[in-house]
Structure 1
């Protein structure tokens, strides 16, 4: 067996070096364009149904296959990042997504469109985790949680672009022009990423590892065996799927056909989703940095908020009032920032040499749950005879959207089990997580002491 050779993993610098902000900006741009590609069917679902002559179940397979490819490639992509570096993966991903959009632009048959979305999913799979690796090597650890949130949330501007500029092109210039323009933007992003991005700052060895396959497999097994990695996976599973399914495919039809909003009103709520997430994300990042031992409580609180908001909307007699829909959108928007906590679990539970694979394991969770929910919603609509845009009804959508609740339940149980295992491991290593009551007591005492009190 060939011995493993590796460059020493680069330690994060104590301060961001020169050029770090430019690298961060281009990495965030690459992720934002990836989000635009990913969500480019979100407000075009009705147009796609008409263009390809398909129903709800078939339409859901577009997004499901895309996310299935994304989820299936996460662990291989993590290994490839460890082997070839993040820059190569970002560029390759941009090229694949551009090719996928070009194929979709000229597609008139379902088979061609599906192949295009598979290409898009493959390229998308390479982008975010690669940008996370670049952030971890260019910035000090204390800034990583907030910057990860910043990348994730600024990247969601791509979703706004898919709702407004892309849809404006679609309705004014046609399908081919709209998706051809998205392909051109992807190509430009690939060029910019190649010119600007670097795996590590100058003078720092890039964190690459040349390992034989058995060693790679051993690293993945070691990452999986650590309960902190599994806690990250289940946190990522439970938090974002409601928002992902909503903005990627079913939110626009639900708001327009079932809730009776105008296209402009639905677009405004989808934009609110992005803006609200952008406000919540930095706050969550700061809380994670300040209270790293309470990350699971943040995750569980946000899962509960989403489930309660959906329960209120589905239980409301008739169409929900606009303020309640706003609450629903804000609650779901917290899911994406909360899912980033899963990556923080991977970072703090694994050494740098296997971080790519561990991050890939975590990233599978949310996309697997999202593709499952999107598929189940489409199937539920079809079974009720509401498989096409002209047959979407409020009652059918209420029944279909209820498929989310069992997944939340499953996710919460898995989080609690993994959290207990993580705490046992920490206790075995001599570190005991203090109870929440004790943490709060200490904080109150510290604040009183700061004011000169007891």
Structure 2
């Protein structure tokens, strides 16, 4: 049963990662078929993250009250509806609505899994959670070259209509195939409200949250749209773009899997600073046109942004861990929305150089504010 719980929740997170990444390969088709400019494309794609972030706090209460067995499949059905709306959309507003519904529906994919794993794998929670993120991130691989080939075979609309059926199937398997807790383990009761003011008043946690905004936000904004759109802008074919995204997402999987081990060995703060600096180097190489090394650095070291959530757990007392990590996650997901949209606005007005340079400047500012944490002991 435990293996089935792990597999099915990981499959749900795999689908979430696929959907968040798909527009990078499809950006050219969406722009041509529906007449989208860079700002519209960026805003529509970023709605996944806005909707995702908007439901995080109520989602936590629902998971605590009803459990992931019911909540995660229910929201996946919303994602399936969004996939149908997106695939049939005749105009930009309907397309945006579909994207937002997908974001709402996928919001429980990771948090529901982590809630379940905390009860099913209490002794190996960190290891199992890292494995979940690494394996689930392979959804980004499917949203690279394989998606480009599927799009050529059935069109982008067909991909989303087929995807809706897959999401419904996974939701059904989750509802029928998992339990909230292992046999004999009672469902824990929530601790009640309060504590948010204490979390918001933690200056070290806010430094981590701002780094998550700049680091996680840039990593996901690039992966799920702009590195693909930029490659198209340079004149590459759909398959060539897919191959570059495969490199980005493939190295990200390795980064997710290795980040926890390296943080445990060398310290979370040190690993975060070094990885963010190497991600910044990737942005510089992207600006200079060295695509292969840029995508490699951006993918592998960008994945280390997940350590901001690890560090959040280290900065708050046990009874505030949920609220502390949720706050940092909100900054990361909210940052993805703002940066994905902001890059689109900047590209339309000033070009890619200024847009990517803005990401670089924001990341360096966040690192400067974060540096005092290096003097702390974890």
TM over 0.5: yes
Question: CA separation of 1:54/1:283 partners in 2, compared to 1, >3 Å: closer, same or farther?
Answer: closer
Quote the Cα distance in structure 2 between the aligned partners of 1:327 and 1:110.
35
Residue ranges of structure 2 left out of the alignment (5+ in a row): none
* Pair 415,136 (structure 1): closer, same or farther in 2 beyond 3 Å: farther
2:355 to 370, 379, 400: 400
| Structure 1 equivalent of residue 23 of structure 2 | 41
Cα distance, 1:228 vs. partner?
Answer: 6.0
Whether the 8 Å contact between 2:148 and 2:242 is mirrored in structure 1 is: no
Aligned pairs for 1:235-254 (under 5 A) are 235-254=211-230
For the pair 1:299 / 2:272, whether they are aligned, the reply is: yes
Q: What RMSD, in angstroms, separates the aligned Cα atoms of the two structures? A: 2.4
Distance 1:122 1:380, change over 3 A: same
In structure 2, which of residues 325, 345, 360 is the aligned counterpart of residue 359 of structure 1? 325
Q: CA deviation at 1:219?
A: 3.1
Q: Is the 8 A contact 1:78 1:357 kept in 2?
A: no
Deviation for aligned residue 1:354:
4.8
Give the 3 Å change call, closer, same or farther, for CA 297–230 of structure 1 in structure 2.
same
Q: Distance in 2 between matches of 1:373 and 1:403?
A: 9
Structure 2 CA distance for aligned equivalents of residues 334 and 237 of structure 1: 18
Distance 1:229 1:340 in 2: 15
Single out whichever of 65-74 and 25-34 deviates more from structure 2: 65-74
Q: Could you report, residue by residue, the CA deviation over 1:299-342 in whole angstroms, capped at 9, with x for unpaired residues?
A: 1111100112222332x3xxx3xxx4222122212355322222
Q: Which runs of 4+ in 1 moved over 6 A?
A: none
- Closer/same/farther in 2, CA of residues 28 and 231 from structure 1, 3 Å limit: farther
Aligned-pair distance for 1:43? 0.6
Stretches of structure 1 that go unaligned for 5 or more consecutive residues are 1-18, 385-395, 424-432, 435-454
Summarize deviations over 1:104-162 as a string: whole Å, max 9, x none. 11110111111111111111222212212222222244x33333222112112212222
Q: Does 2:162 correspond to 1:189?
A: no
**CA distance 1:107–1:58, change in 2 (3 Å):** same
Does 2:131 align with 1:158?
no
Matched residue SS, 1:404: helix
Within the candidate set 45, 50, 54, 1:72 is matched to 54
Tell me how far apart the structure 1 counterparts of residues 275 and 320 of structure 2 sit (CA, whole Å): 29
Per-residue CA deviation, residues 47-100 of structure 1 (Å, 9 max, x unaligned), is: 111221121111111112221122222223223322322333321221111110
SS in 2 for 1:69: helix
Structure having the higher helix fraction is 2
Scaled by the length of structure 2, what TM-score is found? Answer: 0.91
Displacement after TM superposition at 1:224 (Å): 3.4
Deviations 1:426-449 (A, max 9, x none): xxxxxxx39xxxxxxxxxxxxxxx
Is the Cα–Cα contact under 8 Å of residues 145 and 246 in structure 2 kept in the other structure? Answer: no
**How many residues matched?**
378
- Looking at structure 2, the residues matched to 67 and 39 of structure 1 have their Cα atoms a distance apart, in angstroms, of 11
- Determine the C-alpha separation between the residues in 2 that align with 1:414 and 1:75: 26
1:416 equivalent to 2:371? Answer yes
1:332 maps to which residue? 298
Residue 13 of structure 1: aligned partner: none
Answer with 113-122 or 148-157: which moved more: 148-157
Report the equivalent of 1:375. Answer: 341
Structure 2 vs 1, CA of residues 136 and 335 (structure 1 numbering), >3 Å: closer, same or farther? farther
What displacement does 1:101 show? 0.2
How many Å apart are 1:103 and its aligned residue?
Answer: 0.6
1: CA distance, partners of 2:33 / 2:219: 26
Residue 156 of structure 2: aligned partner: 175
Question: Match of 2:24, SS?
Answer: coil
2:107 is aligned with 1:125: yes
Are 2:288 and 1:312 aligned? no
| Matching residue of 1:427 | none
What displacement does 1:368 show? 2.0
Following superposition, the deviation at residue 347 of structure 1 comes to 3.4
- Pairing partner for 2:3 from 21, 32, 39: 21
Aligned residues of 2:195 and 2:320 also touching (Cα < 8 A): yes
